[in-house]
A and B are shown apart, each in its own frame.
Chain A
């Protein structure tokens, strides 16, 4: 049994019962990949009326290693516009990188961080170099060296 099995089982039991407003569990058939929907609850015009889908993938070392978290696009589930979210769904958030992650974080707290990252945003555009990044990136999200210099967003 890997380190994360017990912990993910307990996280699932908890979030199956209750989640904060605007966060819904969509699918968690196993302990490898979960889908959750998030909505921005205040009236931020960039995100009003939309629902976005997050895909979590857990490695054997979770929660010592971070989960891989991306937005995934499908009908009625666009990729939210944000200067830290690429159009292929990859999220640039220090919390999800190998050095910003902490094992006391969990699926619920990650969802809440992403939700508040959207809530506070006023810039209706993609990161600089989005087209280039999306067409050339082959690395796993957590291995990408993002620059976290843009702290005002």
Chain B
């Protein structure tokens, strides 16, 4: 196990400078050299993951974050970068899991990135829902086409059967019209189901944070009974330790998680991922 912390520290500092100047290739290579010098420092892996995120090297980001998590399972950054890489790779469940874990760590450690990470959780959930929706709609469309194809075949078969009999032109027209009416009816049923989905798009007030107007992920309740997103009320309390509604003194330790509301928000969002962009 390599452990030259001094050399690694110098390389890391140089890498940070390159990163700040936008030279992500240079930064990535310096972080790699730092890891060769000291492969026991978890932050070297997350720094390289951050550079690799900029370079769109998603698989390498995942590898770095996993190396970091082996050394420190509670690394907020590792979970945060992992979520972003998984999101790019369209591995939505993994993205949601790691973004949520990063957010929990932020909340526990009073990390200033809480708002940013909360936004990522919402983005992951929205993208996961959109993906499921797209698949569901495609399946819906395919079903409609399958049924229509079968009906068209049935219609042709019925007409062919009439050819061998003593049926008149009038009989033939009647059979054709019956099938056409059925197919039109089917189209209307599918269409009605589609427009129904768009009609239901209204976000309930109880799910909205009164400070950012965003959908809530981790609502916390104040002494006066009002709930806010944890990230926004914390941001406000850092500036001014008062209840936004009553202006009574309010400390972060007075906040309590609102578990029932949190559950309701989660359930609503799972069914209505569009609400993130409302």
A103 and B211 in contact, given A64-B235, A65-B239 (Cβ under 8 angstroms) = yes
Q: Is the CB of A6 within 8 A of B213?
A: yes
B contact residues around A6 at 8 Å (CB) = 212-214
- Set A3, A10, A99, A102: member contacting B244, Cβ < 8 A: A102
Asked if A139 is at the interface (CB within 8 A of a chain B CB), the reply is no
For chain B, residues 235 to 261, give those with C-beta under 8 angstroms from any C-beta of chain A.
235-236, 239-240, 242, 244-245, 247
A108 to chain B, nearest CB (A): 13
Q: By DSSP majority rule, is chain B's interface helix, strand, loop, or mixed?
A: loop
Q: Is the CB of A102 within 8 A of B245?
A: yes
Asked if B232 is at the interface (CB within 8 A of a chain A CB), the reply is yes
B214 to chain A, nearest CB (A): 6
Asked if A125 is at the interface (CB within 8 A of a chain B CB), the reply is no
Asked if A7 is at the interface (CB within 8 A of a chain B CB), the reply is yes
For chain A, the bracket of interface size reads: 10 to 19
Of all chain B residues, the one with the shortest Cβ separation from A10 is: B213
Q: Is the CB of B213 within 8 A of A103?
A: no
A132 to chain B, nearest CB (A): 30
Q: Is the CB of B247 within 8 A of A102?
A: yes
Inter-chain pairs besides A6-B213, A64-B239, 13 sampled, C-beta below 8 Å: A3-B115, A3-B212, A3-B232, A3-B235, A7-B212, A7-B213, A63-B211, A64-B211, A65-B239, A99-B240, A102-B244, A103-B211, A104-B245
Q: Measuring CB to CB, which residues of chain B are less than 8 angstroms from any residue of chain A?
A: 115, 210-214, 232, 235-236, 239-240, 242, 244-245, 247
